[in-house]
A = this chain, B = another copy of it.
Amino acid sequence: MPRICLVNPNMTSSVTELLLGSGNRVANPDTRLIGLTASKGFPYISNHAEGVIASGIVLEMIAEQQAKEPANAFIIAAFGDPGVFAARQLFDVPIIGMSEAAMYTACMLGKRFAIVTFAQALAGWYKDCVEMHGLAAKLSGIHSSDTPFTDLSTVQHAAEESLIKLSQEAVESGADVIILGGAPLAGLAENVRDRIKVPTVDPISAAVKQAEGIVALRPRPPLAGSYRRPDPKAAIGLHASLADRIEYSATSD
């Protein structure tokens, strides 16, 4: 029974609930999804600088979980995939970024995908993320709503009409698939499915299926290459579990 952890690097637990709800809708019967909500950082990360800070928090959250009750895979459940490559290097289990999962899935449903999201401040950061994964040539555009909202856990309802309209515009300008991006939109793709003329992708759902798939494939941990685990190294002043993992101390394997 694979245990898959959804690491929400935001401090908003209602968003973690949304993610779990959406993920469980598509998970295999024997998958156990576990939601982790950040206990430090920001209510909601929404730009590159906060993403950099969140990267460190993600590593700490994974280290802590692995020290305590190891999971079979982790999903970094924030659209910019903060810390995804670093986590792959430090930990021996599959690490899946929610945005990369959405994008690779989208690539099998169309030639070009658009990302539709709920705040213009996110657009630049999401674009960095697409480039980080080397998929800029498959992006038709990033389309952002600017509907004001008061509560992250209900922004998907407040902005629904606006996001549908943006999706339709994205289709007009060449998108074959719509990714509805940003953790607070978890589940929306399913709800608006019939009002958009092309397939919609729900990133957390895509990530759960990618994580289950990779767990089933049982890839061996790399002993060479980009993600080889670094040799033990002294670390000072870091979060305890993360330091243990890096120093190969008692609590880590």
Contacts and interface: CB of A to CB of B under 8 A. Distances in A.
B217 A197 contact: no
Interface stretch (A36-44, A157-165, A180-188): A36-44
A112 interface: yes
B201 A220 contact: no
Contacts of A26: 216-217
Interface in A38-61: 39-43, 46-53, 55-56, 59
A193 interface: yes
Q: How large is the interface on A (under 10, 10 to 19, 20 to 34, 35 or more residues)?
A: 35 or more
A236 B40 contact: yes
A174 interface: yes
Nearest to A215: B209
Contacts of A223: 197-198
Copies of this chain, complex-wide, total: 6
Contacts of A105: 213-214, 217
A237 to B, nearest CB: 3
Interface stretch (A13-21, A64-72, A85-93, A147-155): A85-93
A178 to B, nearest CB: 10
B199 A220 contact: yes
A201 B175 contact: no
B209 A212 contact: yes
Interface in A113-168: 121, 124, 133-134, 137-138
Contacts of A41: 235-238
A222 B199 contact: yes
A138 B52 CA distance: 22
Contacts of A253: none
A83 interface: yes
Nearest to A107: B104
22 contacts: A26-B217, A40-B238, A41-B236, A46-B230, A47-B230, A48-B226, A49-B230, A55-B56, A104-B104, A104-B108, A107-B133, A111-B124, A112-B226, A177-B225, A193-B218, A197-B225, A199-B219, A201-B217, A206-B217, A209-B212, A209-B213, A209-B214
Given A48-B86, A111-B225, A199-B221, 5 more contacts: A94-B108, A177-B219, A194-B220, A201-B219, A205-B217
The 5 closest A-B pairs by CB, nearest first: A40-B237, A209-B213, A199-B219, A176-B225, A49-B86
